[in-house]
Structure 1
């Protein structure tokens, strides 16, 4: 009877496998003081189609995992100060634009030697310029640094990158010969204006009252569905306008924070957030083709190291140009050094439009996945080095 139930619901056994994998691998890696991000990615590698093959529905896991990114941004919106975020707009906007420009220029210099097309240069430049919202926000939350100046500046850049993903996709579509329609562009402009107007309204209002506030506050079950509907409702709206769904969830979180209702929203959705964020990183691990990685190990590892160092340097110099201390600049640069989850979208579009070959696409997936996997270690190393660096000694002597 039990076996028949399992056979009738094939997803049940797969989710049990994932849960047990997280527990067993987590117990081992937590003893080695590794973060949950690494635990989830390694779990995805092991249970995924390229190793044990226990879970092969990578598209299903990826779809569920994308909900984790939405929930993560919703929680961040509830926790940050909108006034602080707006006050740092120069770092968010100018810093992000400079970061993208320098990344594209670096790829263009390499592309001149290999005679790459403009479309390929833009693709690779855009890919390496985007950082991971999911990884960085999770690490900043775990370390309690999300409200610190470094955390706020880095978060501002991440949000600006989420906005820039739309024009990036439009530019690549034109570069590949398949331009975005006028209707899509108009929708995106209208969506951007509406979000800006709502953010301006929330910035002006000190507090707002959510509909049915008193009734929902006393009913825990209604709270779950109201919070769920608000978070994913805003995501669906921004998705309709062709903007990032995660950006919509972030705006919804700010709306909740302005209404001073973050406590019961947090309690209602926290468990769901943990599960879906884990599924997101597991889906990243499932993308790693171990056989392709092994066959091209030297090339992939070389690219990973070069990209981490280059992104760290570019972002450090940008942060330093906005008068952040060297220690904070280096640490912020490390936080932004990995390649982000939205780069998968850019790589997929480029592959679909034949801008890159199958080998190039597999290489992009492997490099992105490894930078996400190694990012917590890289960031922790940078944090320790800046604490005990020559710069720290010089600053302490001045004091």
Structure 2
């Protein structure tokens, strides 16, 4: 047995993760907490900053990124493309306003403290992105994905994923490292191809998968075909410098248009559960409890300011699109945390020396805690006695 463990250290790590998820899950289930909280706390406990059972953050993070791709693939299979397109004003205009207001809010603070333009824009971009993984998981668990609020929030999340590219280009420009013309051309071409493909599906109504009749009768081949389609689309969008999760979402829409979602769901659901769990566990592993404790007051204040600011910005924008106050506040709460893609923006700014090591650690801590506290914040807002008018 010891020889097996020594020759397969990764096996021990995954067994440890599985046992920790079960133990933490059983405890938090009695407190009626969602699985998102279970996974993040599990990552915190077994991660390098507490017990140190699992220290290979790169491995867990890489596997966890597959969970985000699979999650968007499943969402693409479940949403209504017609409803998504009909609500484009909320998705596009609402997201652009959200980014602008976030940058302006940071500018108001940065002007007082004499921050550079690069730092203001970096922090503004970081604050403007919400968590696709957290929000979608909570909407799925509550059965609200098809509700008007769920559809509007999903549209905003998708536009945010698209805006990651111009945000990265902007930060690179501010740091003095401009993107090459080849990269920009690839991204533009990729964007055009995505719009054209989605438009084709939208107007055609129903499509057919290749080898459909053969696939229906062979479950094992179904698994590989589903994997190939999901991650194949992800690789294509990644090649064009766009979000891999966005590619998986487009693949899901394609599957939905072929009326083949049942066997795709059966083939990949277990993989989705595992990889999505690893994604949130990797978030928990990022939380440095020592840094958190040494800066507890500043971090706590920043977390509350971020949640309140994002909550108000998004709620006001939603209300501006004639949503009821109850739905607007709920949508604001859903979008109030800082998203996983903000880690990417923070890393880029740190490597380009736009923010200090302390600033980067602060960003990681605040993002992680907003993700951890988000379900509590959303649940609290949902219970507010507000009229539906």
Q: Could you tell me the TM-score, scaled by structure 2's length?
A: 1.00
Task: Give, in angstroms, the shift of residue 66 of structure 1.
Answer: 0.3
Query: What pairs up with 1:4-83 in 2 under 5 angstroms?
Result: 4-83=3-82
Give unpaired runs (5+ residues) of structure 1. Answer: none
Partner of 2:381: 382
Partner residue in 2 for 1:112 = 111
Residues of 1 paired with 2:95 and 2:374: CA distance? 19
Q: Distance in 1 between matches of 2:217 and 2:320?
A: 50
Tell me the alpha carbon deviations over residues 268-296 of structure 1, each in whole angstroms, 9 at most, x when there is no partner.
00000000000000000000000000000
Per-residue CA distance 1:214-238 (angstroms, 9 max, x = gap): 0011000000000000000000000
Shift of residue 300, structure 1, vs aligned partner: 0.4
Which residue of structure 2 aligns with residue 178 of structure 1? Answer: 177
The 2-side partners of 1:260 and 1:44 are apart by 37
Alignment partners' CA distance in 2, 1:349 and 1:3: 42
The CA deviation at 1:48 is 0.2
CA distance in 2, matches of 1:83, 1:216: 27
Q: Deviations over 1:164-208 (max 9, x none)?
A: 000000000000000111000000000000000000000001211
1:361 corresponds in structure 2 to 360
Q: Equivalent residue of 2:337, what SS?
A: coil
1:332 aligns with 2:331: yes
Distance 1:298 1:338 in 2: 19
The one-character-per-residue Cα deviations of 1:225-269 (angstroms, maximum 9, x if unpaired) are: 000000000000000000000000000000000000000000000
Q: How far apart in 2 are the matches of 1:28 and 1:9?
A: 30
Partner of 1:254: 253
Shift of 1:53: 0.2
Q: 1:302, 1:16 → 2: CA distance?
A: 37
| Residue number in structure 2 paired with 1:307 | 306
Following superposition, the deviation at residue 18 of structure 1 comes to: 0.3
Query: 2:116 and 2:185 mapped to 1: Cα distance?
Result: 29
Q: How many residues align?
A: 389
Secondary structure, counterpart of 1:373 in structure 2: helix
Query: What SS is found at the alignment partner of 2:383?
Result: helix
Gap regions ≥5 residues in structure 2: none
Structure 2 counterpart of 1:371: 370
2:196 maps to which residue?
Answer: 197
Does residue 278 of the first structure (1) align with residue 270 of the second (2)? Answer: no
1:282-322 CA deviation, whole Å, 9 max, x = no partner? 00000000000000000001000011000000000000000
2:238 corresponding residue in structure 1: 239
| 2:157 counterpart residue number | 158
Alignment of 1:318 with 2:317, yes or no, is yes
Q: Distance in 2 between matches of 1:377 and 1:191?
A: 38
Structure 1 runs of 4+ aligned residues shifted over 3 Å read none
Q: Distance in 1 between the 2:291 and 2:100 partners? A: 31
Q: Quote how far apart the aligned CAs of 1:114 are.
A: 1.0
1:72 positional shift: 0.2
Whole-Å separation in 2 of the counterparts to 1:19 and 1:251: 31
TM-score (normalizing by structure 1)? 0.97
**Aligned residue for 1:122?**
121
Give, in whole Å, the separation in 1 of the partners of 2:180 and 2:108: 31
Structure 2 equivalent of residue 145 of structure 1: 144
- Hey, what's the Cα distance between the residues in 2 that align with 1:329 and 1:208? 36
